[in-house]
């Protein structure tokens, strides 16, 4: 089946989560995921070598998303789909428990400064997610040019109690085939890999499952002055925060540009305050959707509460 070159990237904001992967691949098959696929060489090569498996990739770079789709199309692969979203969020929200056979993270930024530690993959929450979505007997593998990063991950994996056959090794030759790896080795340097097999299962909480309808609130009257003063205001929730960055005015509608942050997962979206025959409707704007996380749903309800007269 020949599809358009930019048909491999899926916008999951419009989907009910977790994802039914049979819809996109039109078959039942083992699932494999890569978080942060870069130029896409590793993921595409895996998909070429194992056509009986389905592959899912996550990236936040638009350039990388474009490049990998061109690679997929050139190779005429129908067993790869990609998402432009933080892989930690996608791994937790898009997959059911025990649905992935393998998970790869190749050369993530180690964020060596202490003030950036919250951006690393090496945290307990990420390891719990990996333990939840992997099948028993499936494995997780992380490769990095920072040895301390790999050993930190190995310690967290062991402490979780969900993995066995945990091994760490030094790579002194090309094993992944990526441009970054070849460049690193050409400089006489080495990389390190940790691999662990899942043996015990623990589930985790999801933020978005079962939410198919957009959050909305009907109110009778709006305090326009209060609404216009929302710009720059920060609202706190037990799960995170959201801030109103700007307020736009048009006939019979106000648009609030909002940014939310939950466990370092940031979203940008719009909240619409629209005049209706029987009052006002506060909702997520359909042209700039967000994943229906706790803070996003809270933001719609909070705005309605604040502007109601």
Give the DSSP per-residue string, 166-195: EEEEEE-S-SS--HHHHHHHHTT--EEEEE
Q: pLDDT tens, 133-186?
A: 999 999 999 999 899 999 999 999 999 999 999 999 998 655 556 666 666 667
Instruction: Report the pLDDT value the prediction gives residue 1, as an integer from 0 to 100.
Output: 44
Q: Is the peptide bond before 18 cis (omega within 30 degrees of 0)?
A: yes
Q: Which helix (H) or strand (E) holds 154?
A: helix 147-160
CA nearest to 204, candidates 146, 305, 285, 129: 129
How many alpha carbons lie under 13 Å from residue 306 in its C-beta half-sphere? 18
Asked whether this chain's domains 12-198 and 216-307 adopt the same fold, the reply is no
The model carries a pTM of 0.90
Average pLDDT over residues 264-274: 95
Rounded Cα distance between 86 and 19, Å, is 16
Q: Helix or strand or coil: residue 189? A: coil
Q: Where does 12-198 sit in CATH, by number?
A: 3.40.50.150
Rounded Cα distance between 157 and 198, Å, is 10
- Cβ 274 vs Cβ 280: under 8 Å: yes
Task: Answer positive or negative: Cα dihedral of 219, 222, 226, 229.
Answer: positive
2, pLDDT greater than 60: no
Instruction: Report the pLDDT value the prediction gives residue 102, as an integer from 0 to 100.
Output: 98
Rounded Cα distance between 89 and 246, Å, is 26
Average pLDDT over residues 97-123: 87
Rounded Cα distance between 196 and 194, Å, is 7
Q: pLDDT tens, 77-104?
A: 999 999 999 999 999 999 999 999 999 9
Domain boundaries of the chain, sorted by first residue: 12-198, 216-307
Q: Is 108 exposed, middle or buried (0-12, 13-18, 19+ CB in 10 A)?
A: buried
Instruction: Report the pLDDT value the prediction gives residue 189, as an integer from 0 to 100.
Output: 73
Instruction: Report the pLDDT value the prediction gives residue 178, as an integer from 0 to 100.
Output: 64
List residues bridging with 280 in a β-sheet.
219, 275
Q: What are phi and psi of 179, to 5 degrees?
A: -60, -40
Q: What are phi and psi of 277, to 5 degrees?
A: -60, -35
* Number of neighbouring beta carbons within 10 Å of residue 216: 14
Instruction: Name the pLDDT band for 222 (thresholds 50, 70, 90).
Output: very high
Instruction: Report the pLDDT value the prediction gives residue 35, as an integer from 0 to 100.
Output: 97
Structure tokens at 66: 């474009």
- Of 3.30.70, 1.10.10, 1.20.1250, 3.10.450, which CATH number belongs to 216-307? 3.10.450
Instruction: Report the pLDDT value the prediction gives residue 115, as an integer from 0 to 100.
Output: 76
């Amino acid at each position: 089946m020949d599809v358009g070159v930019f048909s491999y990237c899926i916008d999951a904001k419009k989907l009910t989560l977790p994802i039914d992967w049979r819809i996109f691949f039109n078959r039942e098959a083992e699932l494999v995921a890569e978080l942060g696929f870069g130029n896409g060489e590793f993921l595409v090569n895996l998909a070429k070598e194992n056509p009986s498996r389905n592959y899912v990739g996550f990236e936040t770079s638009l350039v990388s998303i474009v490049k990998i789709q061109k690679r997929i199309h050139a190779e005429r692969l129908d067993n790869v789909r990609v998402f432009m979203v933080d892989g930690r969020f996608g791994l937790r929200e898009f997959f059911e428990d025990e649905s992935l056979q393998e998970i790869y993270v190749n050369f993530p930024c180690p964020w060596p400064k202490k003030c950036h530690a919250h951006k690393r993959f090496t945290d307990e929450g990420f390891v719990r997610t990996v333990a939840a979505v992997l099948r028993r007997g499936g494995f997780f593998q992380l490769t990095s040019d920072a040895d301390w990063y790999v050993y930190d991950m190995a310690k967290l994996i062991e402490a979780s109690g969900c993995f066995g056959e945990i091994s760490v090794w030094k790579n002194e030759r090309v094993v992944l085939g990526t441009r970054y790896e070849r460049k690193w080795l050409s400089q006489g340097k080495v990389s390190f890999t940790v691999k662990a097999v899942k043996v015990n299962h623990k589930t985790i909480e999801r933020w978005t499952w079962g939410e198919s309808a957009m959050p909305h609130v009907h109110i009778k009257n709006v305090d326009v002055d209060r609404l216009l003063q929302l710009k720059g205001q920060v609202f706190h929730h037990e799960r995170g925060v959201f801030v109103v960055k700007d307020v736009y005015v048009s006939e019979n509608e106000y648009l609030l540009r909002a940014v939310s942050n939950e466990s370092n997962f940031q979203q940008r979206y719009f909240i619409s305050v629209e005049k209706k025959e029987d009052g006002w409707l506060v909702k997520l704007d359909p042209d700039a959707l967000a994943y229906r996380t706790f803070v996003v749903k809270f933001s719609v309800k909070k705005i309605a509460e604040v502007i109601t007269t």
